Structure 1
């Protein structure tokens, strides 16, 4: 017979396994679809931007700025932001809504990446970007599930949130930063 600690650890282990399985399944499904779907490079919409790449670069930049707000508000909520001992009540709402808006901004980007461009591996930058894009949505799915699963270690959501922010920064550097370096920031 196991100890109480071993019994308590079992649900957490199953929960962490479920998070890993969901994250991996989402990332693999996106990668598989993007890999087998031959993208033709055509934009279905540009949302008023002059082209698909401009739209993707600017929406990813806006999402990345909001993720900086996400990280700062999460640090404040968890009592880890230097100088903030008791965060105002609105910080939680700010965290949720900047997360919602950042996620919504990424949807037209991922749609065009998967549908119009596909999974590409022509250079190190491009394959890094393709893999990071799939991983981003896998981590996002795992984080959203972690918010609802009881009994997980307390560090689970902050670790997944930090990973999500880190992957988005990799995506930004491997796409928008590169794009702006090629075409200039005035490219709309």
Structure 2
């Protein structure tokens, strides 16, 4: 076993725990009432989401980019804490260590995050000066010998964590039916979501056709040229970005509900969608998975989008009717 495995794993786990703690504190404050504060509520939700995401990724690897992201999250959070107690932040202000004890715990979590990162960087510099290659040292941090199976399991758990996290938030969150979507509320918001959801389905179907072309499953077409691969990726990115405002409105306005079959299907598939997206990204980025994994992940993602469209956009545009639901 690599002699650096245990000391390398320890700071990564502590760093991930500190970030997750900070994210949890801000998520809880968001749920407890900060979601009603203009701009600040959205910033709390953004902080919690990015902190949880980076913490989860740190369990798998520790490239410099993730450490920079962790430092940015902690620094921005501390800067917001300071501004809200001095000059004010977007018209919002707090006093001292209020709310208690969350304010103090948050300060501890962000400070600990920065201290770990400073110590981490100092240890790398010391290792380089003592003759240990930085690249070798970082490899020891990122992938300790003898832990390959553990990393594979953690990669598989990440999509599950995303689904569970969205489901948890959707259940504990108090629905705010007046939530706006680009300034639209009520029926106007639902109509806009139905239109955006239909566009999302269209992009997903185009991406599916391009994937079939890339895999040589369209016999009438020759091998896909390089621009097809680029277009496939760009459409996937566009579809993901288009889905975000829809998902944000759904989960804040309605949460996760089980009032009837259609609503339950829409809620659960909406949570599952982002887990499927994470799974697809993992399969694309890691070459060790079997050849059938990527088509399965992509097909699952398209199927989830189609189910969501049928249970909500189609239902709304079809006069509040969807056969079978």
Partner-residue secondary structure (3-state), 2:179:
coil
**Pair 1:149-2:275 in alignment:** no
1:145 and 1:131 mapped to 2: Cα distance? Answer: 21
Contact 1:136 1:167 in 2 (8 A): yes
Q: Give ranges in structure 1 of 5+ residues lacking alignment.
A: 1-9
Structure with greater Cα Rg: 2
Contact 1:27 1:138 in 2 (8 A): yes
Q: How many pairs align?
A: 174
- Of the three residues 92, 97, 112, the one matched with 2:249 is 112
CA drift at 1:136 = 0.3
**Pair 1:38-2:174 in alignment:** yes
1:170 and 1:45 mapped to 2: Cα distance? Answer: 22
Partner-residue secondary structure (3-state), 2:211:
helix
1:97 paired residue number: 234
TM-score normalised by length of structure 1: 0.85
1:85 paired residue number: 222
TM-score normalised by length of structure 2: 0.50
2:31 paired residue number: none
CA-to-partner distance for each residue in 1:124-172, whole Å, 9 max, x for gaps?
A: 0000000000000001011112211231111111110000000100000
1:123 and 1:43 mapped to 2: Cα distance? Answer: 22
Q: Greater relative contact order: 1 or 2 (C-alpha under 8 angstroms, separation 6 or more)? A: 1
2:183 and 2:202 mapped to 1: Cα distance? Answer: 19
Partner-residue secondary structure (3-state), 2:169:
helix
Q: CA RMSD in A?
A: 2.2
1:167 and 1:82 mapped to 2: Cα distance? Answer: 27
**Pair 1:132-2:269 in alignment:** yes
2:164 paired residue number: 28
2:167 and 2:219 mapped to 1: Cα distance? Answer: 39
1:181 and 1:120 mapped to 2: Cα distance? Answer: 22
CA drift at 1:101 = 0.8
Q: Give ranges in structure 2 of 5+ residues lacking alignment.
A: 1-146
Contact 2:179 2:252 in 1 (8 A): no
1:12 and 1:153 mapped to 2: Cα distance? Answer: 15
**Pair 1:175-2:307 in alignment:** no
Contact 1:11 1:151 in 2 (8 A): no
**Pair 1:160-2:297 in alignment:** yes
CA-to-partner distance for each residue in 1:79-114, whole Å, 9 max, x for gaps?
A: 112312312221111101111111111000110111
Residues 1:64 and 1:22: Cα distance change in structure 2 (over 3 Å): same
